[in-house]
Amino acid sequence: MTLTLSNEEITVFGNKRIGLYDIAFDSSYPYGGETFDLNGTRLTDVEKIILSPVQGYDFEYDYTNDKIKVFKPAPPIVIEEIPTITAGTIYDTTTLKYPHAYIIYVGVDNLGYLVIDGALNPVTNSVAVTDAEWGVRPTLTFLATDAVDGKTVRVAYITQAWKEVFDNIVRAVMAAGVRIAGHADLVFTAGTPDTVDVGELAVAVQNVTWVDNTTVKPCKALYLGEDPATTEVAIDFSNATSSELRLSFKEEDTVDTALDEVYCTYIKKPASGFLADRFIEEDDLTPATDIITTFSGVASSNMLLFGACGGLPGATTKFMNLVRIGATLGVTTTIGKLTKWPGETNTVTLGSDHADTDHIKPSYVVGDISEIPGIVSLECPDTENLSHLTGVRAIVIGR
């Protein structure tokens, strides 16, 4: 975890000294950058450093921490990363390989975990994910009694390489029926059911978490028009009345009471661009022998960005919870696994007791991964071997 500087050349320009160096990296890059140490050189201070790209890698100098960060092309979508879990007394935690823009699903053995807001403490079969921050890898927190440290956790997610997704993240918070964070026009309306209009259109919802007094209750997604049962939320991405994302809750849940809070992280729909152009709202799918096949009506029916994190919206009490691709489903009616993804079309296999009359209505951004525009490089993952990067030319201006 060190840099090696060689072939030093020093020149003077005005009141500045300029050093030329060849830099070699080692076999275990630390996320956040390698420390740039001038010990052993003829410079004592760095005012500016210029590093030339090499072998597809770019470099950035962190002037605050005196470190060189290394960037390379990164996948816009990670399919089932298996992170290392750190066991704790109350909570187990892990950090993903790349900074995230959106969690698609989290599978633990044959269960699908519901994502909740990162400011909250997880409950059984849920995972708290820290808010997306540019260049910062997320922490996932599980309840220690779930014992995920002894199981295999798999996470599918959108990385910040797909920058359009990151640029449109919104975190909305409502307390006692009043907006705390999110769009200025977010509003709660009591009714049958109760509704929250977030103030703008959306293409995906990463989580809806209801805090009932002090009890954290992850909500499962239903499709438009369904009458939600307790801890369910019907998602209407473009409500006909309000022309914005509407979340509908069971009125008896009274999510607007004095000590209640609702958290929702979503991807807003931009006025134009790939997310806006490729959004499919409620692909109405009828299972055939416990298998559903996406049909977007365009050339590709491959789901890139899933409209509901953790699963596929169903009817009341029939949210389809996604589990890992290789999971054993058995007869459970409310779980499913992706059996063809990514691909030109996607197939999802459902638990064998799922009735073929029960429709599934996923919303998603459609297309091939190669079509995603504006993909950006990300910092190299922690511990990556960069020993092949030698002779990286650096110009250092200082004293």
Of residues 71, 151, 141, 138, the one with CA closest to residue 111: 151
- Give the pLDDT confidence score for residue 1 in this predicted structure: 64
If one counts every other C-beta atom within 10 angstroms of the C-beta of residue 153, the result is: 23
Measuring CA to CA, how many Å separate 152 from each of 110, 155, 343?
9, 10, 25
Q: Are 331 and 355 in contact (CB under 8 A)?
A: no
pLDDT at 44: 82
- Which helix (H) or strand (E) segment holds residue 376: the answer is none
pLDDT value at position 303? 95
Instruction: Please state, in angstroms and as integers, the Cα–Cα distance from residue 111 to each residue in 146, 205, 217, 324, 363, following that order.
Output: 11, 20, 17, 8, 22
Q: What is the mean pLDDT of each run of 10 residues along the chain (399 residues)?
A: 89 92 96 90 88 95 95 97 97 98 95 96 98 98 96 97 98 98 98 97 98 97 94 95 95 96 98 96 92 86 94 90 89 88 90 87 95 97 96 93
Q: Considering just the CA atoms, what is the radius of gyration of the chain in Å?
A: 24
CA distance 200 to 183: 7
Mean residue pLDDT across the chain = 94
Residue type at 218 in one-letter notation:
P
Q: What does pTM read for this prediction?
A: 0.95
DSSP, residue by residue, 177-238? TEEEES-TT-EEE-SSSEEEE-SS-EEEEEEEEEEETTEEEE-EEE-TT----TTEEEEETT
What is the structure's pLDDT at 175? 98
Which tens digit of pLDDT belongs to each residue from 109-152?
989 999 999 999 999 999 999 999 999 999 999 999 999 999 99
Question: What pLDDT shows up at residue 355?
Answer: 86
Question: What pLDDT is recorded for position 353?
Answer: 85
Residue 333: the pLDDT is: 81
The two most distant CA atoms of the chain are separated, in Å, by 80
